[in-house]
Amino acid sequence: MTTTISIAMIVKNEADQLSQCLESVHDWVDEIIILDSGSEDNSKEIALSYHKVKWYENRNWQGFGKQRQLAQSYVTSDYILWLDADERVTPALKESILETLKNKESNTVYQISRLSEVFGKQIKHSGWYPDYVIRLYPTKLTQYNDSLVHEKVITTSSIQCKTLKGDLLHFTYRDLIHYLIKSAQYSEAWATQRFNQNKKVSLLNGLLHAMNSFFKMYIMKKGFLDGTQGFLLAILSSYSVFSKYANLWVKNQQGNK
């Protein structure tokens, strides 16, 4: 019996990226599940122009983890491959996935290396590559956790993880404004999650984490080999780290009133 595979995606306002992503997979998968959280562009029209797409909507946003869990509940295939709209499956990765489905192993999830392009350059250092992410697994084996942000696939000691060949191309930030907007969104989700867990921080703690982030990314992980983009990413990363802690600190101050 042929092993079936579904693409699963969660999207919102991805009209500028969605078609390129779907072009990389639509001709060799069995179905494409897209769960939208309230797009105001023509994402739906673009998606439904591909006959394998099944479109669902959920505007009751409870975080990335919960949204992915809901999307997975619509999957009918044996295996699920998660994609974001700003990602593309390379021919080498496609062949590796299809070979894996022919020789599937029980209790196994598969991680993929992502190669990101940022501000016009592929980033091969800075701790960004290989950026291994678990994206392929048997649909009934596991799912994402409940995290509001930085959600992960749940694994146990009985589940083995293997690495697929080929890269997943990641066109992550369109421009600096896009980076800052996404950074602010992640900062808010991160701070909210930890505030609800009664976590406390100081601004000094945030500053030290930010400085450490720059040092690790630019020096230890050789971000300087990524040229000007590597330096900019290290600066922006340290800013994003400080922003998270500052956001949580502000929430703590307001919550104590």
Nearest to 51 by CA among 79, 35, 30, 67: 30
Place of tokens 């909507």: 57
15-51 burial: b if 16+ Cβ within 10 Å, else e: bebbbebbebbbeebbbbbbbbbebeeebbebbeebe
Angle between helices 203-215 and 227-255 (to 10 degrees): 160
SS3 68: helix
| pLDDT bucket at 1, cuts 50 / 70 / 90 | confident
Give pLDDT tens digits for 17-26: 999 999 999 9
Distance of CA 67 to the CA centre of its chain: 13
What is the distance between the alpha carbons of residues 60 and 66, in angstroms, rounded to a whole number?
10
Residues 26-67: pLDDT tens digits?
A: 999 999 999 999 999 999 999 999 999 999 999 999 999 999
**Are residues 119 and 45 in contact, defined by beta-carbon separation less than 8 angstroms?**
no
Q: What is the pLDDT of residues 126-139, one digit of tens each?
A: 999 999 999 999 99
DSSP code, position 165? E
| pLDDT tens digits for range 7-17 | 999 999 999 99
Q: What are the extents of the domains in the chain?
A: 5-173, 176-255
pLDDT at 256: 57
What 8-state DSSP symbol labels residue 144? B
Q: Are 109 and 141 in contact (CB under 8 A)?
A: yes
Whether 162 contacts 111, CB under 8 Å: yes
Quick one: fold of 5-173? Spore Coat Polysaccharide Biosynthesis Protein SpsA; Chain A (3.90.550)
* pTM for this entry: 0.87
